[in-house]
Amino acid sequence: MGTVPSALKHCLSYQHLLKEQLWIGEPAAPPPALHPEQEFQISGLPDYVKIVEVGPRDGLQNEKVSVPTDIKIELINRLSKAGLSVIEATSFVSSKWVPQMADHTEVMRRIERHPGVQYPVLTPNLQGFHSAIAAGATEVSVFGAASESFNKMNINCSIGESIEKFEEVTKSARNMNIPVRGYVSCALGCPYEGNIIPAKVAEVSKQLYNMGCYEISLGDTIGVGTPGSMKKMLEAVMKEIPVSALAVHCHDTYGQALANILTAIQMGVGVVDSAVAGLGGCPYAKGATGNVATEDVLYMLNGLGINTGVNLYKVMEAGNFICTALNKKTNSKVAQASFNV
Amino acid sequence: MVAAKRALPWLAASLRPVSSTAAGSLPKQVKIVEVGPRDGLQNEKNIVPTQVKISLINMLSETGLSVIEATSFVSPKWVPQMADHTEVLQGIQKFPGVSYPVLTPNLKGFQAAVAAGAKEVSIFGAASELFTKKNINCSIEESLQRFSEVMHAAGAASVPVRGYVSCVLGCPYEGKIAPAKVAEVSKKMYSMGCYEISLGDTIGVGTPGSMKEMLSAVMKEVPVGALAVHCHDTYGQALANTLVALQMGVSVVDSSVAGLGGCPYAQGASGNVATEDLVYMLHGLGIHTGVDQQKLMEAGVFICKALNRRTSSKVVQASCRL
């Protein structure tokens, strides 16, 4: 086969590729109709998938380097211009536990609030909720888990006790017409307990949904899930919660995220969490990756002809910005392949 | 951290089938074609000594893999990394039940391969005229004529031939590739006598959407039992693309230990999908591969040390912090 330098020289240039929108840019035309005999799981995909961008919170919280407030604000502002409709902005947790999010009030107050874009914030308890509202939050999130051990190690209480705390939040939120999103961590496995049974995930999800969370994001916190375990878990959860209220939050620690996300959307899930540049490592496997990269998810969805409303170029530019600021290499393969050509 | 040490049990857990039958319409077993020693090493910056190649192949032979692409009988002028092809093929342990195919771009290469003991060969076509021109300086039609010489000789010697089709989901020179073109080239190679056609997303630009479209076209011409997919992970899409192929009935997948082999068309980007990550997904789906993940990871760790590079396998990164 040809040598590397000659191959590169004659390749289509990056600009040409983008201009032709060959791989990046507008979503592809919907695939042609299948032969009726071919009953593929791939049929029945949603026309539209909502991306929930968690980079500024989940991503930056799990980065080694602490990020200056101005940089966080700039990142969020850039993401706001990319067509994303939900950008998780920060976390109203005690700065004793999560120093990276200590500037939550300043971030919330200073970001540009684009019309049509939601900026949910984490609120682990009533105190955090009130601070968030005071700072101008108009949507909040609560974080449950399908594992008792994980809950104990993370927030020092049982699942049951955490549910009680969240109920205080959802009650206040309801009174103020503030939507609440519920997260369920360890949906496909726990760093302490190992395997998690789907029924447990369904049970916790149902509790969060019944207390008023409008959407439940099912998180593969340590990225150990595969399409097999994703399918089993979703089957159990979908018995309790309508699929339209479900989201998946896949970590790419074992390289399975996109395959798992594909499985979820084949089952009707229409909301996917991801982080620009794949920000956020895994606190449970040093040096390993965490969140799936928004760019890579978008690339896949575009190729499937699924509308997201998001401009991949602009997300890539935001990713480039934050990686430069963090002095780190992007975890997005799309960005790696594109910026190096 | 205590939790980090528990990563390894995930590998054991992923070996336990999710259910007694494979999920949905997925195959119950998948044959993995390990291309690390050839496709992988050929596209690595650093050249490894012959003995290291032999050790790698021997380690891979112990993992349960049934096909390990050993080397390439191409002129060392073009591919210096494979200059030791004869020595490698003659130096490796040939495990019973394991096939060691080698690349043979033309009759001369085929004859050299057979003389060196090759029992199976591969030929590389492409679905793109420009790619064929740049790579081997002829048209697709001319390349097929060259291959037919190899096919005749292979037929006479009872040597099975595997056919590869490159650029099935996109070409670095032509851009989009029509599924019908892929089907046409695949059909020709299959009709010539290739027992299997490996469809390669050479620059990793494919997505589950384009994979499905391409396979739908090819499956009209070639039975799915004779098809394999060879996905590159340059854009992170490889496992999702492979999953779609499995859902459509494909049961042979090419991959490279440690994800060896970068992409010559996107400097610094990754290439082949990592066998460890593929096996992790397949076992998690309850699909039988016959591969021992632990031994596979050890082979990957070995070759990465020899190449002085970090593994591209996320499973290994998560498990061993390498």
Contact B236 A293 (CB under 8 A): yes
Interface residue A2 vs chain B (CB under 8 A): yes
Which of A20, A31, A287 shows the shortest C-beta gap to B213?
A31
B234-244 average pLDDT score: 97
**Is residue B177 pLDDT above 50, yes or no?**
yes
Q: Please, are residues B50 and B88 in contact by the beta-carbon 8 Å criterion?
A: yes
DSSP helix, strand, coil percent of chain B (3-state; round to 5): 45, 15, 40
Instruction: List the 179-218 stretch of A: residues with Cβ below 8 A of B.
Output: 189, 191-192, 194-195
Question: Which of A254, A266, A284, A323 to substitute to test the interface with B, most B CBs within 10 Å?
Answer: A254
Residue B161 predicted with pLDDT over 80: yes
More confident site: B73 or B45: B73
Rg over alpha carbons for chain A, rounded to the nearest Å, is: 20
Q: Choose among B134, B234, B281: nearest Cβ to A227.
A: B281
Average pLDDT of every residue of chain B: 91
Residue range B111-134, pLDDT digits in tens: 999 999 999 999 999 999 999 999
| pLDDT tens for chain A, residues 1 to 341 | 333 333 344 444 444 444 444 455 444 444 444 443 333 445 579 999 999 999 999 999 988 888 999 999 999 999 999 999 999 999 999 988 889 999 999 999 999 999 999 999 999 999 999 999 999 999 999 999 999 999 998 888 999 999 999 999 999 999 999 999 999 999 999 999 999 999 999 999 999 999 999 999 999 999 999 999 999 999 999 999 999 999 999 999 999 999 999 999 999 999 999 999 999 988 777 777 899 999 999 999 999 999 999 999 999 999 999 999 999 999 999 999 987 53
Of the given ranges (A74-83, A284-293, B12-21, B259-268), which has the lowest mean pLDDT?
B12-21
Beta bridge partners of B255: B34
Please tell me if residue A22 touches chain B, with a CB cutoff of 8 Å: yes
According to the model, what pLDDT value does residue B9 have?
A: 54
**pLDDT, mean of residues B292-313:** 96
Residue B295 is inside which H or E element, if any?
Answer: helix B293-307
Pairing of the two strands B227-231 and A121-122: unpaired
Q: What is the DSSP string of A65-115?
A: SPPPHHHHHHHHHHHHTTT-SEE--EE-S-TTT-GGGTTHHHHHHHS---T
pLDDT surpasses 50 at B13: no
Place B5 in a pLDDT band, splitting at 50, 70 and 90.
very low
CA nearest A284 in B: which residue? B4
User: Considering B167, B194, B263, B304, which one is annotated as catalytic?
Assistant: B263
**B176/A262 Cβ within 8 A:** no
> Whose CA is closest to A145, among A116, A105, A186?
A186
Of A2, A22, A253, the CB nearest to B135: A2
Instruction: Answer yes or no: do B240 and A300 touch at CB < 8 A.
Output: yes
Distance CA B288, CA A249 (A): 28
Say what the pLDDT of residue A46 is: 94
pLDDT band at B228 (very low <50, low <70, confident <90, very high): very high
What tokens were used for B99?
Answer: 């096939």
> Rounded distance, CA B16 to CA A30, Å?
37
d(CA A76, nearest CA chain B) in Å: 24
3-state secondary structure of B47: coil
Active site residue B263: yes
Give tens-digit pLDDT for B64-116: 999 999 999 999 988 899 999 999 999 999 999 999 999 999 999 999 999 99
- The pLDDT of residue B78 is 85
What's the gap in Å between the CA of A334 and the closest CA on chain B? Answer: 5
pLDDT score, position B269: 77
How far, in Å, CA of A222 to CA of A219, rounded? 9
For residue B315, pLDDT over 90 is answered with yes
- In 3D, which of A298, A305, A304, A315 has the Cα closest to residue A50? A298
ipTM for the whole complex: 0.90
Q: For A300, name the nearest residue in chain B, comparing CA atoms only.
A: B207
Within chain B, strands assigned E span 31-34, 67-68, 71-72, 102-103, 121-126, 161-166, 196-201, 227-231, 252-255
Instruction: State pTM to two decimals.
Output: 0.90
**Cβ distance A118 to A138 under 8 Å?**
yes
